[in-house]
Amino acid sequence: MQQAIAILDSGVGGLTVVKEVMRQLPQEKIIYFGDTARAPYGSRHPEEVNLFTTQIVDYLIQYSPKMLVIACNTATAVALEDIRKRVSVPVIGVISPGARAAIKTTRSGIVGIIGTVGTIRSGAYEQALKSISPGTTVYSHACPQLVPIVESGNFDGPDTMKAIEDSLTELRSKPIDCLVLGCTHYPFLSGLIGEVVGRDVSLISSADETAREISTILYHQHMLVTNNETPIHQFFCSGEPILFKQITTNWLREQIQDTPIVWQVPNFL
Ligand code: DGL
């Protein structure tokens, strides 16, 4: 049986990474876990986020994945190192890839970051950006309103636009030339976020760079799939499955049209 790439998030946000992985590596089998029953993670205590992440990893590891992707910035910020010590397969998060993508894009070296309260409070992006390019100026801002909006499937409309405008008021006055979407939920709103910040500010999602890192790791470990068999993906959510399934199939529409999916609600929580 094909070994999967296991990808997890607090909810539907990690699907923004899944989409890019499916685009770049269409032969690879994906196991996705969205902890929709306990989302959002962003305002929870770091110890709780660490515990939830560990529980999900322990669950996913039963499926013998060949690698684990923590497609949640909040969980990456607090749990990445612990999870690396816990499992024997390669584990990557989304913060280093996001920071690399920002440094590749910025011309002025003045970068904005939006994320959850937990991600922004951790300072992990600032640290990652400055470790690549110490002279970078970073302006960051937490946007706690946005994850619940995405989880409810309201990707447009006046209320969503108002929440985005309110969330970005402070950063709009800063001379940034790129804005890191430091939460994997935010690319669902990138059209509206782009309208609010304007064309002169490039939006950075970590999805593309994360998929590239997955590909590099699997290549070097000789673990990329080489046959042409269609993979059968598995999608888990811990909460109500109808909306999760709807958001997932709409978001991944082009990637999954010829690909079978198994949907499951695990009962370990
Ligand atoms: N997608 C998660 C992240 O990247 C959202 C966290 C949350 O559930 O608040 O941080």
The closest-lying atom of ligand 1 relative to the alpha carbon of residue 39 is: 8
pLDDT tens-digit readout, 169-189? 999 999 999 999 999 999 999
Residue with tokens 């370990």: 268
Q: What angle do CA 255, 17, 154 make, to 5 degrees?
A: 85
pLDDT score at 259: 85
Distance CA 42, CA 202 (A): 24
Phi, psi of 184 (to 5 degrees): -70, -10
Query: Which ligand 1 atom is at minimum distance from the Cα of 71?
Result: 4
Kindly state the tokens that stand for 59: 């669950």
Q: Is 183 in the pocket of ligand 1 (CB under 6 A)?
A: yes
Judge contact between 238 and 269, C-beta under 8 A: yes
pLDDT at position 54 is 98
Residue 68 CB burial class (10 angstroms; 0-12, 13-18, ≥19): buried
pTM for the model stands at: 0.97
In which element (H, E) is residue 265 found?
Answer: none
Which residues of the chain have a pLDDT value below 50? Answer: none
Q: Which of 35, 119, 141 to mutate to test the pocket of ligand 1 (most atoms within 8 A of CB)?
A: 119
What pLDDT shows up at residue 113?
98
pLDDT of residue 166: 98
Q: Whole-angstrom Cα distance, residue 53 to residue 83?
A: 8
Nearest to 265 by CA among 238, 245, 247, 246: 238
Residues 23-33: pLDDT tens digits? 999 999 999 99
Q: Are 12 and 34 in contact (CB under 8 A)?
A: yes
Domains with residue ranges and CATH for the chain: 5-93+208-264 (3.40.50.1860), 95-206 (3.40.50.1860)
DSSP designation for 221 = T
